[in-house]
C-alpha cells in the first residue's frame, strides 16, 4: 500500500501532482482543502484569523484532522501539506502514516510567482500571506528534511520544471510509467 507524503514550499505543485495521481486510484488528502472546507468552530476560527496570515495549524489540531480524514485501510493515498513540523513527522512515523516522501524543491521567487498567478481566490494567496507561509516553511518544515530522509524512502524533485515533466518523474519514482 502506497502511503505518500508530498512535501515542499507553498506553490511547489504538491496539490497539482496529487490531483494527477487520482487517475491511478490515489486518494488526495490535502490539509489545506480540509481546513478550507471544515465546519468545526475551532478550524473556522483558525481559517478566518490565522490562515490568511500564513500561520500553520497547531500540531494537535492537525493530528485530529488527519485521524478524521485519512482514507480507509488498504487505500493508496497522498498526504499533501500534512506533515510540516518535527512533531508531525514523528507522529507520521509512529502511526505508520507514510512510507514514501516526495520533496518538491522550489525557490521563493518561483513559488511567489506561481501562487500569485494561480488566481484561485484563496484567502492565503496574497503577497503578504505567501511570504509568511514561505518563512514558516523555511523555519519549521525545511529543518525536518533530515529526519524524513533518515526514516522514510525519500526523493527530491526539482519543482521548477513543467507540470508534465514533474508528473513523469513522480510516475517514474512510483513505478507507474
* Nearest Cα to Cα of residue 151 among 103, 104, 89: 89
* Distance, CA of 24 to CA of 47 (rounded, Å): 31
The pLDDT tens digits for 32-84 are: 888 888 888 888 888 888 877 777 788 888 888 888 888 877 789 999 988 98
Q: Residue 4, SS3?
A: strand
The pLDDT tens digits for 106-147 are: 999 998 899 888 877 777 778 888 888 888 888 988 999 999
* Nearest Cα to Cα of residue 49 among 35, 62, 60: 35
Which segments within the chain are labelled E, that is strand?
Answer: 3-7, 26-30, 76-80, 100-105, 153-158
- DSSP collapsed to 3 states, 82-104: CCCCHHHHHHHHHCCCCCEEEEE
Model pTM? 0.88
Question: Which distant-in-sequence residues (6+ apart) come within 8 Å of 139 by Cβ?
Answer: none
pLDDT band at 16 (very low <50, low <70, confident <90, very high): very high
* Distance, CA of 44 to CA of 41 (rounded, Å): 5
Residue-level pLDDT at 118: 81
Residue-level pLDDT at 95: 92
Domains of the chain: 3-174 (3.40.50.300)
Q: 162: which 3 cell numbers? A: 513543467
Residue-level pLDDT at 106: 95
Q: Average pLDDT of 89-111?
A: 94
Distance of CA 150 to the CA centre of its chain: 19
Q: What is residue 138's DSSP assignment?
A: I
Amino acid at each position: 500500500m502506497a502511503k505518500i507524503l508530498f512535501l515542499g514550499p507553498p506553490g511547489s505543485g504538491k496539490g497539482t501532482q496529487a490531483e494527477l495521481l487520482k487517475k491511478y486510484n490515489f486518494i488526495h488528502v490535502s490539509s489545506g482543502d480540509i481546513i478550507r472546507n471544515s465546519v468545526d468552530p475551532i478550524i473556522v476560527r483558525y481559517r478566518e484569523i490565522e490562515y490568511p496570515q500564513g500561520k500553520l495549524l497547531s500540531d494537535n489540531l492537525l493530528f485530529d484532522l488527519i485521524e478524521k480524514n485519512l482514507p480507509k485501510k488498504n487505500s493508496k493515498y497522498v498526504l499533501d501539506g500534512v506533515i510540516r513540523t518535527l512533531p508531525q513527522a514523528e507522529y507520521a512515523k509512529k502511526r505508520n502514516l507514510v512510507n514514501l516522501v516526495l520533496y518538491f524543491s522550489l525557490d521563493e521567487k518561483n513559488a511567489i510567482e506561481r501562487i500569485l498567478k494561480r488566481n484561485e481566490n484563496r484567502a492565503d494567496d496574497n503577497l503578504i500571506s505567501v511570504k509568511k507561509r514561505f518563512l514558516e516553511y523555511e523555519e519549521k518544515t525545511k529543518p525536518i528534511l533530515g529526519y524524513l530522509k533518515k526514516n522514510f524512502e525519500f526523493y527530491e524533485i526539482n519543482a521548477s520544471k513543467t507540470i508534465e515533466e514533474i508528473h513523469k518523474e513522480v510516475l517514474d519514482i512510483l513505478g507507474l510509467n
